[in-house]
Structure 1
């Protein structure tokens, strides 16, 4: 038995503005109950809200908090329902055919996020077989690949991010797979069945740029994420500092409150003018910039006026 080659070192995320690990998240409102209800009913959890309100990072937080596996797929205008179940590498197959080294059809199929969540052992075994088919042959046979799946996590969180970016047929195409948790690979005819011990929480986000089909909404639990109040923004800032920097000082607390009040006023003003409101993510950008650069939240500070315009307003013609 040959041990799989180690994965290459993963890039550090300490300085990344949108951290994917889920450690720094403040759960608000009914989100904890929503997770319990979604798991009890087996229904997807659809999170609505403005961009930057914390919808996507909530899924990563649930996975991190519970020690569950985490899978995500960011939807684009070209995404189709099967892309969330599996993908087929047409380009590689064409190249192999032209080079007269065509592999078995399974070698070009890659499990998608829902396959990994609904049938993790099946997805892992398939991925390893495909890898073995693609590796060079040694000593007259295939190079062996480790197929032990005992260490797989049966519980997982799947994030389907920004589903409203896709064609309306995407949500309709997911009705059966999300309901039955089974599907058939069109290239091979293989039926993928849900594994008894696999429990998956499916979190779907929408920025409400496009109306979702009623049939899809009926099959989801829906939660609206509102903009946090100032005291909640302060707790968000505290969570990020505690998770990544430490310590959260009295100066940080004062800065967080000053920025939270600015954001509240800007949101009130934006609502009156029917304009875009600054998001929680933008509040964090301003907080980290002020904290690291020593910028004071004061109109007399030219750097603050510039930062306010760049990070929060993002409209040159707004005072």
Structure 2
């Protein structure tokens, strides 16, 4: 039987992803041959302690749980918007951990990022040097052992996520609003079709040699690519984050499930503090939470600013007056401030 919600926002990992119903007919993909999703222990070895901690301590709102499940059921990207520090990128790690989707593939967007960067990188110069070395040192018997083109090509995070994995991979496209104006439109076709081509391989593969073994993002593992074409099997769980600094084309928004995160309220902040510090907030921590909430309407504040202040309050022997002064310095507004009274 199908399961709703597949993602629950709880702490315990589980295999609920296997209970997803079949995709809508217009979002069904048939790439192959099927690849096994990397195991969770691979993520433990590869991920930084910060990312693992964020995945374990993330506390999703009911709205976030509902819309994550909508994106999973519909096989659509999830566009997560909101002020800095509201947990937009952490959500991808929390979902991947709970649903055992393996290591999160991360693509950090800059103003110079292009669709090609996310799909794959090809180094023609290294191939040229390899060919020259092979020509200078002919192999015994006169055979040319120059490296093939696949030895100078690596799939990017988006290109890896669209491989025909039997279970969906998790892909974080972070800060999409920093991109060039054309990138959201360029993503449309790839995310809609769930496939792409690698022209360099298309030109070199033939009927007798259709397969290339290429490196994937973040590891030294190689996967087969047939005839230079990649098509997904299980559409990846794609999270695109935005700080709300720009508007996106209607065609792009229409193909995404949109989640708008807001600053957490008192109860949500207390739950976040409990998760990070493994216990109920102490009296001074509760005071900091109250002061943080009273200042939120005056400008942008990030939850990790509050966590930093609480950690120092718990770990130091400073006086209350000194702690107040330090907390104010650790929690400045991230943008234009509208609160003349300060901390």
> TM class, shorter-chain normalised?
0.7 to 0.9
Gaps of 5+ in 2: 1-41, 136-145, 203-227
CA change 1:256–1:90 in 2 (3 A) is farther
Q: 1:169 aligns with which of 167, 177, 182?
A: 182
Cα deviation 1:12-47 (Å, max 9, x = unaligned): 955x4x656511111113111112111121110000
CA change 1:164–1:308 in 2 (3 A) is same
CA change 1:98–1:49 in 2 (3 A) is farther
CA change 1:168–1:307 in 2 (3 A) is same
1:223 paired residue number = 259
The 2-side partners of 1:11 and 1:204 are apart by 22
The 2-side partners of 1:166 and 1:188 are apart by 28
2:66 paired residue number = 33
Cα distance, 1:253 vs structure 2: 3.4
Moved more, 95-104 or 185-194: 95-104
Moved more, 97-106 or 186-195: 97-106
The 1-side partners of 2:322 and 2:291 are apart by 16
Cα deviation 1:130-165 (Å, max 9, x = unaligned): xxxxxxxxxxxxxxxxxxxxxxx7232111110011
CA change 1:24–1:97 in 2 (3 A) is same
Residue 258 of structure 2 aligns to a residue in which SS?
strand
1:159 paired residue number = 172
Cα distance, 1:106 vs structure 2: 1.3
2:326 paired residue number = 306
CA change 1:20–1:237 in 2 (3 A) is closer
Gaps of 5+ in 1: 1-6, 122-152, 243-247, 271-275
The 1-side partners of 2:121 and 2:237 are apart by 21
Q: Is the contact between residue 120 and residue 155 of structure 2 (CA under 8 Å) also seen in structure 1? A: yes
The 1-side partners of 2:48 and 2:324 are apart by 27
Residue 65 of structure 2 aligns to a residue in which SS?
helix
Residue 57 of structure 2 aligns to a residue in which SS?
coil
Asked if residue 84 in structure 1 is aligned to residue 107 in structure 2, the reply is no
Residue 284 of structure 1 aligns to a residue in which SS?
helix
Moved more, 164-173 or 105-114: 105-114
The within-5 A match list for 1:89-108 is: 89-90=123-124, 92-93=126-127, 95-96=129-130, 99=133, 103-108=147-152
The within-5 A match list for 1:2-81 is: 13-14=48-49, 16=50, 22-69=55-102, 70-81=104-115
The 2-side partners of 1:63 and 1:55 are apart by 14
The within-5 A match list for 1:228-307 is: 228-242=264-278, 248=279, 252-268=281-297, 270=298, 276-295=299-318, 298=320, 301-307=321-327
Q: TM-score, structure 1 length as denominator? A: 0.73
Cα deviation 1:246-305 (Å, max 9, x = unaligned): xx2x5x43233211101111113x1xxxxx321112111222222222446x4xx13431
| Count, aligned residues | 261
RMSD, matched Cα: 2.8
Q: Is the contact between residue 160 and residue 204 of structure 1 (CA under 8 Å) also seen in structure 2? A: yes
Q: Is the contact between residue 84 and residue 300 of structure 2 (CA under 8 Å) also seen in structure 1? A: no
CA change 1:292–1:108 in 2 (3 A) is same
